[in-house]
Chain A
Amino acid sequence: MNERTPVLDFACHAILVVGAAIVCLPIYFVFVTGSQSQQEIMQVPLSWLPGDQFLANMQTVLSSAKFGKLLLNSFVVACGITLGKLAVSLIAAFAVTYFRFPFRLTAFWLIFMSLMLPIEVRIVPTYESAANVALPLNILGGWLGWQALIDLDWNLVNTYSGLILPLIASATATFLFRQFFLTLPDELCEAARIDGASPWQFFRLILLPLSRSNIVALAIILFLMGWNQYLWPLLLTTDPDMATAVIGLKKLMPQSDSLPTWHVLMNAAFLTMLPPTIVILLLQRWFVKGLVDSGK
Chain B
Amino acid sequence: MLARNSEGLALTANADARRLRWPLRRRADAPIRGGQAESGLKRAHFTGSWLPFWLLAPQLFILLLFFFIPSVRALLQAFQLTDPFGATTQWVGFQNFERLFRSGVYWSSVQVTLLFTLAQNILTLSVALVLAFATNHIARGRGAYRTILLLPYAIAPAIAGIMLAFLFNPRVGPVAQMLQGLGFDWDPNRNSGHALALIVMAASWKHICYNYIFLVAALLSVPRSILESAYLDGAGPIQRFLRICLPMISPTLFFLVVINFVYGLFETFAIVDATTRGGPAGSTSILVYKVYQDGFVTLDLGSSAAQSVVLMALALALTFAQFRFIERRVNYSV
Contacts and interface: CB of A to CB of B under 8 A. Distances in A.
B304 A88 contact: no
A26 B167 contact: yes
Interface string B30-74: 000000001111111111110111011011101111111111011
23 contacts: A9-B137, A16-B149, A19-B131, A88-B59, A95-B53, A98-B42, A99-B47, A115-B1, A118-B267, A120-B266, A120-B269, A120-B291, A121-B314, A124-B304, A136-B69, A168-B66, A169-B67, A182-B14, A187-B44, A189-B42, A249-B159, A280-B150, A288-B150
A124 B237 CA distance: 52
Interface in A167-215: 168-172, 174-176, 178-184, 186-190, 193, 199-200
Contacts of A122: 70-71, 74, 308, 312
A179 B166 contact: no
A228 interface: yes
Contacts of A199: 46, 49, 51
Given A26-B160, A30-B163, A235-B296, A168 B315 contact: no
Contact of B167 (A16, A29, A105): A29
A152 interface: no
A65 B148 CA distance: 31
Interface of A: 1, 3, 5, 8-9, 11-13, 15-16, 19-20, 22-27, 29-30, 33, 41-42, 44-46, 48, 87-89, 91-92, 94-101, 104-105, 107-112, 114-118, 120-130, 133, 135-136, 165-166, 168-172, 174-176, 178-184, 186-190, 193, 199-200, 224, 227-228, 230-231, 234-235, 246, 249-250, 253, 256, 260, 262, 265-266, 269, 272-273, 276-277, 279-281, 284, 287-288, 291-296
B138 A9 contact: yes
Given A230-B269, A230-B273, A121 B291 contact: yes
Given A172-B3, A182-B13, A186-B44, A121 B308 contact: yes
B2 A115 contact: yes
A176 B3 CA distance: 9
Nearest to A187: B44
Interface stretch (B98-106, B109-117, B169-177): B169-177
A42 B217 contact: no
Given A16-B131, A23-B148, A29-B163, A99 B51 contact: yes
A20 B159 contact: no
B163 A1 contact: no
Given A100-B47, A165-B66, A120 B295 contact: no
Given A101-B52, A125-B71, A116 B153 contact: no
A13 to B, nearest CB: 6
Contact of A179 (B13, B139, B169, B292): B13
A189 B44 contact: yes
B248 interface: no
Contacts of A171: 59, 63
A42 B159 contact: no
B17 to A, nearest CB: 6
Contacts of A193: 44, 46
B69 A20 contact: no
Interface of B: 1-6, 9-11, 13-14, 16-17, 20, 23, 38-49, 51-53, 55-56, 58-60, 62-71, 73-74, 77, 127, 130-131, 133-135, 137-139, 141, 145-160, 162-164, 166-167, 169, 171-174, 177, 189, 205, 209-210, 213-214, 217, 227-228, 231, 236-238, 255, 262, 266-267, 269-270, 273-274, 288, 291-292, 295-296, 301, 304-305, 308, 311-312, 314-316, 319
A170 to B, nearest CB: 6
Contacts of B167: 25-26, 29
A3 B231 contact: yes
Contacts of B210: 291
A129 B66 contact: yes
B156 A120 contact: no
Contacts of A89: 59
A284 B147 contact: yes
B317 to A, nearest CB: 10
B145 A16 contact: yes
A136 B51 contact: no
A82 to B, nearest CB: 15
Given A92-B56, A293-B10, A23 B151 contact: yes
A19 B149 contact: yes
A108 B40 contact: yes
Contact of B274 (A13, A87, A124, A253): A253
The residue in A9, A20, A121, A250 that gathers the most chain B C-beta atoms within 10 A of its C-beta is: A121
Given A107-B60, A123-B291, A1 B51 contact: no
A230 B162 contact: no
Contact of B77 (A33, A125, A178, A281): A125
A92 B147 contact: no
